Structure 1
Amino acid sequence: MGKKIEHKVILHLLEKSELNEKEVELLEKAKEVVKKAYAPYSNFCVGAALLLEDGQILTANNQENASFPVGVCAERTLLGYANANFPELKPLKIMIVAKRRDDSNYATVSPCGLCRQTINEYELKFGQAIEIFMLTPEGNVLKAENISQLLPFKFNDLNS
């Protein structure tokens, strides 16, 4: 039998009081932008806020269209906008907030596979981890130190 390959995944469950000032600001901005998501087909709204190395916070949300499911996720919308407008600034932290349009509670979601690979691309581009935060219905936040915690065997050149 061949060798066993393992990758340990660690997520931190944080209370809001454990977040620093910028992380709380990210959370609040993601909560604001989730309300503006264009999700007329699924009614599942996602908002994301991104902290750049210069302290700027950018926001975006998911964008659906009638040719469902070819809409664009909040995370990819946000990272694409950041790279198109601030290509030299490293993204440091991303906060993700989700909820069904008519639900008062938030839903815990992690980035989809395509978004995970996109986050990986920006970690590779800048040679730096991006911390990923995900709001839970209880108001706590799940934190991944980097994309490897959500995408342990990502699509990279595994020989490098």
Structure 2
Amino acid sequence: MIEKKKLSISFEEYSSVDELSKSDKILCLESVKAMSSSHSPYSGFRVGVAVQLESGKVVYGSNQENVAYPSGLCAERVALFTIGSTYPDDKIISMAITAQTDHFEIKEPVTSCGACLQVMAEYEKKQSSPINVLFYCRNGSIIRTEGIKSLLPFAFAETRLQK
């Protein structure tokens, strides 16, 4: 018997960074600063992320391209892997992601790729608490989610691979 199911997601949309809570606004503005270390000479598409940890620390990431395209890394994974290796026991509270290019105007929030979402899901699972994500469009709206499940509802999570 085929069972039809329906999936719904939940998110908030803000028209301006000024509508956000003080902490979310600061994190979005910090994500803009993070773009300054982007190495994107091939695409010209700079991405920055600022991640708020439970300890109060903010960790930054930016996209790092390579002439051998698959060898680059997205801003989100740069930040998350830095946290995993430097602050492994510090919970991730929120992360803000933004992007910019000189080639065109970005009018909608730029969302994370599937690989980054999967890594976010892994860190959320590791810490047993949701990670709030803000997709910040500097010339448009901001999307805010509470947890990765709304972004990647069918994340790979094979529990038999664990010890």
TM over 0.5: yes
Aligned to 2:110: 109
Aligned to 1:127: 128
Instruction: List per-residue Cα deviations over 1:129-153 (Å, max 9, x = no partner).
Output: 0001001253431011111111011
Give the TM-score, by structure 1 length.
0.90
Aligned to 1:61: 62
* Deviation of 1:41 (Å): 0.9
Deviant stretches of 4+, over 6 Å: none
Query: Which stretch has the larger CA shift, 46-55 or 30-39?
Result: 30-39
2:77 and 2:6 map into 1 onto residues whose CA distance is: 28
User: Do residues 23 (structure 1) and 24 (structure 2) align?
Assistant: yes
Aligned to 2:101: 100
Aligned to 2:142: 141
Q: For residues 106 and 49 of structure 1, do their structure 2 counterparts lie closer, same or farther at Cα, with a shift above 3 Å needed?
A: farther
* Number of residues of Structure 1 aligned to a counterpart in Structure 2: 159
Preserved contact between residue 108 and residue 140 of structure 2 (Cα < 8 Å) = no
Preserved contact between residue 106 and residue 135 of structure 1 (Cα < 8 Å) = no
What is the letter of the counterpart of residue 54 of structure 1? S
* Deviation of 1:49 (Å): 0.3
Aligned to 1:74: 75
Percent identity between matched residues is 30
SS of 1:66 mapped into structure 2: coil
RMSD: 1.9
Aligned to 1:3: 3
* Deviation of 1:105 (Å): 4.6
SS of 1:35 mapped into structure 2: helix
Instruction: List per-residue Cα deviations over 1:33-65 (Å, max 9, x = no partner).
Output: 213310111111100000000111111100001
Preserved contact between residue 92 and residue 131 of structure 2 (Cα < 8 Å) = yes
SS of 1:51 mapped into structure 2: strand
Query: Which stretch has the larger CA shift, 136-145 or 37-46?
Result: 136-145
What is the letter of the counterpart of residue 157 of structure 1? E
Query: Which stretch has the larger CA shift, 82-91 or 105-114?
Result: 105-114
Aligned to 1:87: 88
Gaps of 5+ in 1: none
Give the TM-score, by structure 2 length.
0.89
Preserved contact between residue 37 and residue 62 of structure 1 (Cα < 8 Å) = yes
What is the letter of the counterpart of residue 8 of structure 1? S
Instruction: List per-residue Cα deviations over 1:101-154 (Å, max 9, x = no partner).
Output: 454656521110110000000011000000010012534310111111110111
User: Do residues 12 (structure 1) and 20 (structure 2) align?
Assistant: no
